[in-house]
Amino acid sequence: MVASTNISELIRIGESLTVEYKSSFDRESIETLVAFANAKGGTVLVGVADDGAVRGVTLGKETLNEWLGQVKSSTSPSIIPDIEAFDIDGRTVVAIRIGEYPIKPINTRGKYFKRFASSNHQLSLNEITDLYMQSLQLSWDAYEAPREDLNSLSVSKIEQFIDQVNQCDRFTLDKSPLLALEKLKYVVNNRPTWAAMLLFANNPLRHHIHIGRLKTPTIIIDDRQITDTLFEAVEQAMKFLISHISVAFEFDGSLQRKERFAYPLPALREALLNAVVHRDYANSSDIQIKIFDDRITIFSPGKLYGGLTIEEIKTDFYQSHIRNKLIAEAFYLTKNIEKYGSGFIRIRKELEAYPEVSFDVEEVGGGILVTFSTLASISEGVSEGVSEGVSSLLVCIRNKPGLRIPELSEQLHVPAKTIERWIKKLRDENKIIFKGAPKTGGYFINEGN
């Protein structure tokens, strides 16, 4: 159990990933316990106000047992936390502690919550599925693809994969396509898994890479939709990227001149591989790559997996979780990726030789958006792009009034920080206004302007 000195320390530190304050025990207290059980565990302190002030609670003879009964009866699977009352400065504070539950997700009255930072997040259907599969150490791509058989797979693509794996010396595969795929679990019960279909299908599944060269958000110079199996899709996308990136030539005194692209190609490839390997294939959205004069953005459907946060991946010490284990293994065995979960570290390493290129990653519109920005762009082109972007935002607000910044970011596939700058410009020009409460309102055209 928790000592009273530890309770005082929890109150001093404040609410966090594992601590929540409640003035009284209520339904939200149970939701928080569920959120803790679906994350790393945590403690609810009842009798403590949001600002950390100890208010205390009044307990009857059976109060704690009644609270335990409410938690047990309103959660599924039922959870039974530890509960104990403490005297803090003459007031009673109750600590209700639950550990991380081994089989997830837990729900309360049909609703699923998970703890993020210092708040509870209600899970979507996809997040519920992901959490369940994580707890059982399952992977979506390991399931058999319904209505498909071995004739759905390309023997030549499998043979090429086998040769490449054997040449890389990370694993040795039988020359027989069927035996090789069975060994790697890409074929189960004589049927292809989703991973096999994504990697080797005769008729590729329609998970596109939509890639374009744009002058502004609405002026498209070149555009292509890539629909192919994953290894081939990566190569096609890289060729398109290279064909639209400026290159300079450097001389170091040798007879041969050296090419220097505006962006480090290994970093771009790593970002592309991250998008392809780790995207949510249950999401019907496309991977979207946009090449502007001053930046390249890569959008991958699906939020970070396994509780990983944006703040964590900006460090070199994050612990990754693999959404598509078989797909990741295929790219690892062919040395397309060097080590599971090292992609963002490798990108930052490559960028050390490119001080003029900045890199950013954020969650936008149900997915991950990475942005490479360069200072080498022509200033006129940048200002033109900003002007065009502001115009496209104004059109979006006119067509869909009442949207907030996250929703506008999702609609335009532009980072929220950029939307904020454009919003400020439009508000300064008195072209738009914000209506409604701060948490529920949105932006509208200023009809009085």
What 3 state SS string does the chain have?
CCCHHHHHHHHHHCCCCCEEEECCCCHHHHHHHHHHHCCCCEEEEECECCCCCECCCCCCCCHHHHHHHHHHHCEECCCCCEEEEEEECCEEEEEEEECCCCCCCCEECCEEEEEECCEEEECCHHHHHHHHHHHCCCCHHHCECCCCCHHHECHHHHHHHHHHHHHHCCCCCCCCHHHHHHHCCCEECCEEEHHHHHHHECCCCCCCEEEEEEEECCEEEEEEEECCCHHHHHHHHHHHHHHCCCEEEECCCCCCCEEEECCCHHHHHHHHHHHHHHCCCCCCCCEEEEECCCEEEEEEECCCCCCCCHHHHCCCCCCCCCCCHHHHHHHHHCCCCCCCCCHHHHHHHHHHHCCCEEEEEEEECCEEEEEEEECCCCHHHHHHHHHHHHHHHHHHHHHCCCECHHHHHHHHCCCHHHHHHHHHHHHHCCCEEEECCCCCCEEEECCCC
The reply to whether 73 and 149 lie within a common domain is no
Better-predicted residue by pLDDT, 219 or 385: 219
**Beta strand 287-291 with 209-216: parallel, antiparallel or unpaired?**
parallel
The reply to whether 406 and 303 lie within a common domain is no
Task: Give residue 382's pLDDT.
Answer: 37
Cβ proximity of 412 and 396 under 8 Å = yes
The reply to whether 269 and 124 lie within a common domain is no
Among 84, 100, 135, where does a domain finish?
A: 135
Over 80: is that where the pLDDT of 214 sits?
yes
Better-predicted residue by pLDDT, 28 or 137: 28
Query: In whole angstroms, what is the distance from residue 8 CA to residue 10 CA?
Result: 5
The reply to whether 221 and 346 lie within a common domain is yes
Task: Give residue 12's pLDDT.
Answer: 87
pLDDT (tens digit per residue) in 24-61? 999 999 999 999 999 989 999 999 999 999 999 999 99
The reply to whether 172 and 266 lie within a common domain is no
Of the candidates 63, 99, 106, 53, which has an alpha carbon nearest to the alpha carbon of residue 84? 63
The reply to whether 126 and 274 lie within a common domain is no
CATH number (domain holding residue 441): 1.10.10.10
**Beta strand 82-88 with 91-98: parallel, antiparallel or unpaired?**
antiparallel
Domain that holds residue 323: 209-374
What angle (nearest 5°) sits at the alpha carbon of residue 73, between those of residues 105 and 2? Answer: 75
pLDDT (tens digit per residue) in 79-93? 999 999 999 989 999
Task: Give residue 391's pLDDT.
Answer: 78
The mean pLDDT of 384-410, rounded to a whole number, is: 79
The mean pLDDT of 199-223, rounded to a whole number, is: 91
Mean model confidence pLDDT for the chain: 88
Cβ proximity of 230 and 278 under 8 Å = no
Among 200, 218, 249, where does a domain finish?
A: 200
- Tally the residues of the chain: 449
Query: In whole angstroms, what is the distance from residue 300 CA to residue 347 CA?
Result: 16
Better-predicted residue by pLDDT, 222 or 413: 222
The reply to whether 270 and 341 lie within a common domain is yes
Of the candidates 317, 318, 417, 405, which has an alpha carbon nearest to the alpha carbon of residue 371? 417
pLDDT (tens digit per residue) in 78-136? 999 999 999 998 999 999 999 998 878 999 999 999 998 889 999 988 788 878 777 76
Of the candidates 230, 313, 241, 315, which has an alpha carbon nearest to the alpha carbon of residue 275? 230
Of the candidates 43, 39, 195, 16, which has an alpha carbon nearest to the alpha carbon of residue 131? 39
Q: What is the separation of C-alpha 76 from the centre of its chain, rounded to a whole number of angstroms?
A: 27
Structure tokens at 163: 């040769």
The reply to whether 67 and 98 lie within a common domain is yes
Task: Give residue 111's pLDDT.
Answer: 94
The reply to whether 265 and 327 lie within a common domain is yes
Task: Give residue 240's pLDDT.
Answer: 96
Residue given tokens 């490839």 in the structure block: 269
Over 80: is that where the pLDDT of 376 sits?
no
CATH number (domain holding residue 249): 3.30.565.60
The reply to whether 383 and 334 lie within a common domain is no
The reply to whether 17 and 66 lie within a common domain is yes
Task: Give residue 89's pLDDT.
Answer: 87
Over 70: is that where the pLDDT of 1 sits?
no
Over 60: is that where the pLDDT of 4 sits?
no
Query: In whole angstroms, what is the distance from residue 36 CA to residue 28 CA?
Result: 12
Task: Give residue 311's pLDDT.
Answer: 87
- Residue 98 phi, psi dihedral angles, 5° rounding: -130, 140
Of the candidates 295, 445, 284, which has an alpha carbon nearest to the alpha carbon of residue 358? 295
Among 152, 174, 200, where does a domain finish?
A: 200
pLDDT (tens digit per residue) in 234-259? 999 999 999 999 887 665 556 566 77
Over 50: is that where the pLDDT of 372 sits?
yes
Cβ proximity of 434 and 408 under 8 Å = no
Over 90: is that where the pLDDT of 449 sits?
no
The reply to whether 196 and 292 lie within a common domain is no
Number of domains in the chain: 4
Share of the chain above pLDDT 90, in %: 59
For residue 206, how many C-alpha atoms fall within 13 Å in the half-sphere facing its CB?
2
CATH number (domain holding residue 25): 3.30.950.30
Task: Give residue 103's pLDDT.
Answer: 78
pLDDT (tens digit per residue) in 290-348? 999 889 999 999 988 877 888 888 888 887 778 899 999 999 999 998 876 788 999 99
